[in-house]
Chains A and B, each alone.
Chain A
Amino acid sequence: MIRFEEIEIGYSKPLLFIPSLTLDTGKVYALVGLNGIGKSTFLNSITGQTSLLSGKLFLNQQELQKISKVNLPKLIAYVDSSFTGVEYLTVLDYLALGRSPHINNMGKLNTEDKQVIQEVVRELNLVHLIEKDTSEISDGERQLCAVARAIIQSTPIILLDEPTAFLDYLNRQKLIELLVLIAEKQQKTIILSSHDIDICINNALEFLIVSEKKILKTKVCDKQVVIREMEKNVLKSS
């Protein structure tokens, strides 16, 4: 669960203002909005990468500012869309990094860690990839691996920055279905930013629409409504 109280997000000037907002466990939220509106900044403020200008943010009842840097990765997994692969880094080694918040300083995986990795690899159909080099697989495969790593991290909250950008239609659908299933089954809160409104509507995701320096939480099933909301401040300024 994520709770926002009177929060201002931004850099020198506030980009977003969130008076009060609660995101529940067991749900997948679709963060939508035009380019440059502050979607990534919003996600970064939840991971603590961008500090809040004012207000309070709670992750599972704990205040974000009071959570130590060591414990934060046990609560939040973040999937960056920018991973382009590293030569000689195998998919398996990459996925194993997802366990790093849970293992000791020597970095050895125990049987439980290995089990978690194996389960996720099976669920996401990555078995044929694990021995491959992360720089030699396709963009879509790499994106799936990044999502897999976040699930392997076993956190109550998962944030994904455009996880479907490089995926084909079939894999997009499969990934969203899987995320919905995982959110329900393991009671996680998942936020994914996306420009693919159709697929979010098809899977009945709840929307977080960013516009006019605000975030609107809504459940809609009409694409036109979402687009109208997104374009609000564009219409006003023109």
Chain B
Amino acid sequence: MIKKRIPFILVISLLLVPLSAFIHLSTGEIYVSLNDFFSAIFEFKGNNSTHVLIREFKIPRILIAIVAGGGLALSGMLMQTLFNNPLAGPYVLGINSGASLLVALSLMSGFSFFGSDIGIISAALIGAFLAGILMMAVAQRIHSQISLLLVGLMFGSFTSALVSILESLSGEGALKAYTLWTMGSLQQVEFNQLPLILFIFICGIFLSFILIKPLNMLVIGERSAGLLGLKISQVRFLIMGITALLAGLITAFCGPIAFVGLAVPNLTRILLRTQNHSYLILGNLLFGSIFLLLCDSCIQLFSKQIALPINAFTSIVGAPFVVFILMRKLR
């Protein structure tokens, strides 16, 4: 029975991804029909303004929602398994904070190289990775799940204080660029950046699939996994690397996005009722994509009334769900 139920849910959600993309397409400010959408892909004409709109705005936004949703959910799942903590995630454990700090540093440094796309992306990746290493070092010393989260929270406060100091020291232009970046948005990605983003995303997925066996072993704890022959330090480093790669990439392009990496992996486990990571990886990718596509659709829907940053919206949906998990697990 179990064997049939999980593939069934996965297939259904695979069908829900294009459906959510369609909802996303039809909630935009300018109406786009499916016909236009496909002709923009297959018979692109540079002088057709609808085609240009689809190519320059719609497709990148839909793809980046899929990448950001799936990628953040996947990196959250990796961290939760690594730390054996259902409340871990790139946002709560300061991966985003690390990325934000370095992006702030590079934007406000005044050098034009650091303010360029490559500069921001590398800053975010390095910051994410450094924060990940720091959290790993902390997790070695404390074993309480709650304490680790508190350390993550403190790290977040500390970095945002540093960023405030930087802000007060920097000029108007840099300040504006940074503030826009922190708002978090799926609209800043351009068509020609997509290949790079998709390439890194697919690398992250591929590496996660290679780690299925270690991930399944880590479920029973590092010590027991080690006694079954798992090379802990090697695996820990790899998992942290993938997490930083995915979360750093997404943070660089979309700004910090909260709660997807925390809420979706828990939702996936509750829906699939398994700890087998070959299913969990697929589930997180699919549910994360659907979740963010629908969130962004809502933002588009209300865009005439208010300009909601994606970060605010995912928090509105995600935070109550996380409280629900807390009440269920840590009574």
Contact = CB atoms under 8 A, between A and B. Distances in A.
Given A72-B229, A73-B229, A97-B217, A86 B275 contact: yes
B229 A78 contact: no
Contacts of B2: 90, 131
Interface stretch (B115-123, B146-154, B156-164, B220-228): B220-228
Interface residues of B, number: 23
B229 A97 contact: no
User: What interface size band does chain A fall in?
Assistant: 20 to 34
Interface stretch (A99-107, A171-179, A192-200): A99-107
B227 A73 contact: yes
A69 B275 contact: no
A73 B269 contact: no
B229 A100 contact: yes
Contacts of B276: 93
Contact of A87 (B210, B217, B220, B269): B269
Contact of A101 (B216, B223, B229): B229
A58 B252 CA distance: 53
A87 B84 CA distance: 11
A88 B213 contact: no
A55 B194 CA distance: 60
A187 interface: no
Contacts of B213: 100, 103, 105-107
Contact of A93 (B223, B227, B230, B275): B275
Given A88-B273, A105-B213, A106-B213, A69 B224 contact: no
A89 B227 CA distance: 19
Contact of A107 (B212, B226, B275): B212
Contacts, number: 62
A225 interface: no
B33 interface: no
Q: By CB atoms of chain A within 10 A, which of B216, B220, B224, B274 has the most?
A: B220
A106 B212 contact: yes
A47 interface: yes
Contacts of B212: 106-107
B229 A83 contact: no
Contacts of B274: 88, 90, 93
A17 interface: no
A91 to B, nearest CB: 12
Contacts of B298: none
A177 to B, nearest CB: 26
B228 A100 contact: yes
Interface in B97-130: none
Interface of A: 47, 49, 69-70, 72-74, 76, 78, 80, 83, 86-90, 93-94, 97-98, 100-101, 103, 105-107, 131, 153
Interface of B: 2, 210, 212-213, 216-217, 219-221, 223-224, 226-231, 269, 272-276
16 contacts: A47-B227, A49-B226, A49-B227, A83-B224, A87-B269, A88-B274, A88-B275, A89-B220, A89-B275, A93-B275, A93-B276, A94-B220, A97-B217, A100-B213, A100-B229, A107-B216
